[in-house]
Structure 1
Amino acid sequence: MAVDTMTAQSERRVATWKRVGSMREAGLVAIILALCVVMTFASPHFLTLGNFRAMLMSFSVEGIVVVGMTVLLIVGGIDLAVGSVVCFAMVFAGSMFMLGLDPWTSSLLGILMSAVIGAIMGFFVTVVGLNHFITSLAAMVIVRGLCLAVTKGTPISLFTLPPSFKAVGQGSIYGIPYVILIFFAVVVIFDFLLRRATAFRKVFYTGSNEKAALYSGIKTNHVKFWVTVMCSTLAGVAGVIYMSRFGSATPTFGVGMELNIIAAAVIGGASLNGGSGTIFGAILGIALLSVVSSSLILLDVSVYWQDMIKGCILLAAVSVDHYLHKRKA
């Protein structure tokens, strides 16, 4: 009897490890660790506190946007305008500050305007009937044009920002930057909601089979609308943090950011066909891209080659996603 019990326990442990090994997140962790080991020998500057702090600061703010993009991909959408919205939040909040508003109110207005942009995109998707790709592509161009029109193509210097506001992007507590704490809070909250909240389960149902979700009583257009607004709002939050961190608002900031954001979410397991994805996987995706970027910089690889390599990583991730989707079907 005891032997049977031990055998059953052993089989359960083996099955558990097999499940863990088959998880996409486990593979990403292994790749990140392997890359870190290789870079430790390739560059003496990689395994340093300063480099790891820089990488954490780099992907923490982008990670906030990745959270919103992941949820949007799960519902079956995509947002090509996130980079422009991040920039617009900076420019709008910076402009309001220069007109005499305090930075906190200006930032709140910047985030609110980002949500409005998301609401406009959501309207065209759910009411007019356009798809997310075309709608967000048009929004990307329009919002970037607004940024250039408002600033006349000239960066807004915000050196008069009060220290209390600059602390959000530059300060720390017990050696931990506030940016990382904000990022951690956003990840924990949305990961919990995506796993436990009934309202967020509707996101998976809508992305998996919108028609079946509609027949089961889920207002799928409402779900898509609010997820689109949420993605833009989180992009606005990231824009305000960037403004606090750099003390300026540049109208060309965030160009190409959508590549990193979408790549991170897809690498982390969010399907372009909707219905699958995790916050933890997406964060591992952005962490992998951050390690790759840091490695290329330390190895003195040209910035043009860096973009090409990131594009190849995105293509590989999309190909894997397509293969897995076909296999599941």
Structure 2
Amino acid sequence: MSVDEVGRWPSRFGSRVLRRFVETRELTLLVLIVAIIVGMSLASPVFLSLANFRAIAIGMAPTVIIAVGMTVLLVSGGFDLSVGSVLALASTVTALLLLSGASIPLAILGALALGVIIGLANGIVVTRIGVNPLVATLGSMSIARGIALVLTEGFSLSNLPPAFGWAGRAEILGLPFLLWVALALVVVFDLAMRHGSFFRQLYYIGSNEKAARLSGLAVNRVRTLAYMLSGLLAALAGVLLASRLMSGTPTAGNALELQVLAAAVIGGASLRGGEGTVVGAFLGVIFVALINNAMTMLAVSIYWQMIVTGAVLVLAVALDMLVRRGDG
């Protein structure tokens, strides 16, 4: 072995370790999640209580739902910063429709349709007009949040029909209905991403858009549908949140897009597209939720929680870039 090869060996070894970490991201996350649970159970006797785990499950359910759509979009090579604002707008629109006398199914369908329309608009602006996804979805984030605030003048809308709160209060087999919805979406879309022919196209498009176009794939249509799915699931999360809180809240979901992106990237999705699994994103949401819960238990300021979430996102993206650079 030459001197140069000896000098390069630590770098190659480090790259192999990083690649192995990324390749086994889901297993690694499981280990980290177990480590956090064990550590916090020793630090706080309240952590392992049923009430605490119930609170974690209910709190992270909307994030899981949105993370499913975000993962699909990331795999296709896009991303959506408007999901938190769409959640808030769907929440307020549902409440407004209910207060105006609309039936519960009609109010829910109206909110979901609005989410799909916003996703469609994002998809058209990105794929047809060619606006950068960051700019396009940042704009729709501001527009959706602004509409929610204008419609409500910044106030929450309460006094909703009692029957509407069923989804937020109901339990099945001892678990909140919200969590069952989130878990069902994780299972369905993870299987679809692994075995569905349409969803497999997303990986091809995200990995090499030019090759996908040359092979005859309808890149713009597929990616637009991914944006529509993201908007739909964000709106669904908003409806379920309104049911749990029994109010439409225009300020809900603030900075939620950061948590969702962090969870998806931690779970193995790449901002460059072509990689990621729904199960990985789900584990990423659990990981972030446990960290936030642990900091709350340890009386860490909410502002530090935001810093930690941002730092985790940066570290996850940096890790992904280092691995790709090592592969090159």
TM-score of the two chains, using structure 1 as the length reference: 0.92
| Structure 2: distance between partners of 1:160 and 1:241 | 13
User: Which residue is 1:191 aligned to?
Assistant: 190
Amino acid at match of 1:168: A
Q: Is the 8 A contact 2:29 2:287 kept in 1?
A: yes
- Aligned positions of 1:202-213 closer than 5 A: 202-213=201-212
Amino acid at match of 2:255: G
| Structure 2: distance between partners of 1:168 and 1:305 | 32
Q: Does 1:133 find its partner at 2:134?
A: yes
| Structure 1: distance between partners of 2:132 and 2:202 | 17
Deviation at 1:201, TM superposition (A): 0.7
TM-score of the two chains, using structure 2 as the length reference: 0.92
| Structure 1: distance between partners of 2:275 and 2:160 | 45
Count of residues in Structure 1 that have an aligned counterpart in Structure 2: 310
User: Which residue is 2:16 aligned to?
Assistant: none
User: Which residue is 2:222 aligned to?
Assistant: 223
SS of the counterpart of 2:241? helix
Q: Which moved further from structure 2: 121-130 or 262-271?
A: 121-130
Deviation at 1:312, TM superposition (A): 1.1
Deviation at 1:213, TM superposition (A): 0.6
**Structure 2: runs of 5 or more not aligned:** 1-19
SS of the counterpart of 1:160? coil
SS of the counterpart of 2:282? helix
Amino acid at match of 2:204: Y
Deviation at 1:22, TM superposition (A): 5.0
Aligned-residue Cα RMSD (Å) equals 1.5
- Aligned positions of 1:1-329 closer than 5 A: 22-157=23-158, 159-163=159-163, 165-329=164-328
Amino acid at match of 1:24: R
Q: Runs of 4+ in structure 1 displaced over 4 angstroms?
A: 19-22
Amino acid at match of 2:162: P
C-alpha distance 202-22 of structure 1, shift in aligned 2 (>3 A): closer
Q: Is the 8 A contact 2:72 2:226 kept in 1?
A: yes
| Structure 2: distance between partners of 1:22 and 1:229 | 29
**CA offsets, 1:169-217, max 9 Å, x none?**
1111231211111111111110111011101111000000000011111
Amino acid at match of 2:36: L
**Structure 1: runs of 5 or more not aligned:** 1-18
Residue identity (%): 39
| Structure 2: distance between partners of 1:90 and 1:309 | 28
| Structure 2: distance between partners of 1:198 and 1:324 | 28
| Structure 1: distance between partners of 2:21 and 2:303 | 37
| Structure 1: distance between partners of 2:237 and 2:249 | 14
Q: Is the 8 A contact 2:22 2:268 kept in 1?
A: no
**CA offsets, 1:304-324, max 9 Å, x none?**
111111111111111111112
Q: Is the 8 A contact 2:269 2:281 kept in 1?
A: yes
User: Which residue is 2:10 aligned to?
Assistant: none
**CA offsets, 1:117-144, max 9 Å, x none?**
1111111111111121110000011111
Deviation at 1:53, TM superposition (A): 1.2
User: Which residue is 1:15 aligned to?
Assistant: none
SS of the counterpart of 2:252? coil
| Structure 2: distance between partners of 1:160 and 1:80 | 29
Q: Is the 8 A contact 2:56 2:293 kept in 1?
A: yes
| Structure 1: distance between partners of 2:173 and 2:188 | 23
| Structure 2: distance between partners of 1:321 and 1:59 | 25
| Structure 2: distance between partners of 1:135 and 1:62 | 22
Deviation at 1:328, TM superposition (A): 2.6
